[in-house]
Chain A
């Protein structure tokens, strides 16, 4: 089972993607969510860039838009994992899941197989 599917089954997220150096590397967003993915990528990249310029110690950003929640978590300097969830998703549980499964995300990034 993919990590995305697992998170989906746990009711944490709808879809997710992994970015490395500003580029999309892995994604479970279906084709009809192309626009969502674009908004998520652009806005969270902008937010993290602005954070980098102005503050230290922030590795988590959430944007609630309409009934959607876009969340970004920095795994390291270059890697960000982004999710689309219901607006009332439990962000603490999402964070916990990432902490517990960090290695799997990195493996997924390093894995050359298409996800």
Chain B
């Protein structure tokens, strides 16, 4: 049996877990644990250890897929993966979430972190979430990489689509392993995943929090009901949650008492060195967001109104 290895890395939410899950023949070992000691999580279950999956290519070749934990405080795991589990990997896939504020910065960061590792291996840059944020586009990636002096292949993929992720594996493995019938591997994957060819239908139902985290600059979100009860939240910090619930309560009171002014639409708190906190009201629900302080108020308002609308349309998911 020939065993190949591929290492997936990239920022939190870039799609590593999803990519490995959409390829693996075994139940993926994803050691997602709730990272309760960080104040604001990028998403509910952040990969803190590693993802692992296996894909059979032929009766005597398979590929092991390793995913690094996204958070920097688990950097020690990166080294362990690079030096032990995946020291003999044939390539590294850097997943880049196109909705990030500066996707090229992520590339610079990871290319530097893994520079030694990459001396002897191929790098593929897999850009995800381009369905949500199309810019920067392929050409812009090529020229940015050229400027960075990074020679690599760029592929735009949706990590939820096994065919797209398999394309990366093929790109890496076909150079060394010639007799693989990629079409039949692909068919098998689609069968396994019960994948509908309706590509635009998401494989996993998105929750409001997922949808919020997919917005540019959003670092945390909380969904409140009529009585300020928390419907869901990935903001951990208690005082922050208290503050937002207090403000939501205040806005209800003002809408009642100062009816001549109209309803309170939103409250936004900002400061020079802190994340922007905002509370958006909509009839019987409110959405609270922690965002990057560089996001402007109009953008924030647009994001929140999209999300609240989304939440009404997807009521059954909330």
Residues of chain A having any CB pair with chain B under 8 Å: 35-36, 39, 43, 46-47, 50-51, 53-68, 87-88, 91-92
Q: Which of A60, A62, A65, A66: most chain B CB closer than 10 A?
A: A65
Query: Is B314 on the interface with A (CB-CB < 8 A)?
Result: no
Complex partner residue of A63 from B242, B264, B273, B274, CB under 8 angstroms: B264
Asked if B268 and A39 sit within 8 Å, CB to CB, the answer is no
Instruction: Report B-chain residues with C-beta under 8 Å of the C-beta of A68.
Output: 261-262
Within 8 A of A (CB), among B242-257: 242-243, 246-247, 250-251, 254-255
Q: Which residue of A lies closest to B246 (CB)?
A: A50
Chain A-chain B contacts (Cβ-Cβ < 8 Å), number: 88
Q: Which residue of A lies closest to B270 (CB)?
A: A60
Instruction: Report A-chain residues with C-beta under 8 Å of the C-beta of B264.
Output: 63-65
Can you report 10 residue pairs joining A to B where beta carbons are below 8 Å apart?
A47-B247, A53-B243, A54-B239, A55-B243, A58-B277, A59-B272, A62-B297, A66-B261, A66-B262, A92-B297
Instruction: Report B-chain residues with C-beta under 8 Å of the C-beta of A61.
Output: 267-270
Asked if A46 and B250 sit within 8 Å, CB to CB, the answer is yes
Complex CA–CA separation, A66 to B273 (angstroms): 29
Q: Which of A35, A54, A61, A88: most chain B CB closer than 10 A?
A: A54
Complex partner residue of A43 from B243, B250, B262, B273, CB under 8 angstroms: B250
Instruction: Report B-chain residues with C-beta under 8 Å of the C-beta of A55.
Output: 239-240, 243, 269, 274, 277
Q: Which residue of B lies closest to A52 (CB)?
A: B243
Residues of chain B having any CB pair with chain A under 8 Å: 239-240, 242-243, 246-247, 250-251, 254-255, 258, 260-274, 277, 296-298
Asked if B261 and A57 sit within 8 Å, CB to CB, the answer is no
Knowing A47-B250, A91-B297, the reply to whether A60 touches B271 (Cβ < 8 A) is yes
Asked if B239 and A43 sit within 8 Å, CB to CB, the answer is no
Instruction: Report A-chain residues with C-beta under 8 Å of the C-beta of B251.
Output: 63
Q: Other CB < 8 Å A-B pairs besides A55-B239, A55-B269, A58-B270, 16 of them?
A: A36-B261, A47-B269, A50-B243, A50-B250, A54-B242, A54-B246, A56-B274, A58-B271, A59-B271, A59-B272, A62-B270, A64-B264, A65-B255, A66-B263, A67-B262, A91-B297
Asked if A65 and B274 sit within 8 Å, CB to CB, the answer is no
Knowing A39-B254, A46-B250, the reply to whether A57 touches B265 (Cβ < 8 A) is no
Instruction: Report A-chain residues with C-beta under 8 Å of the C-beta of B246.
Output: 50, 54
Knowing A46-B250, A57-B272, the reply to whether A92 touches B296 (Cβ < 8 A) is yes
Instruction: Report A-chain residues with C-beta under 8 Å of the C-beta of B262.
Output: 65-68
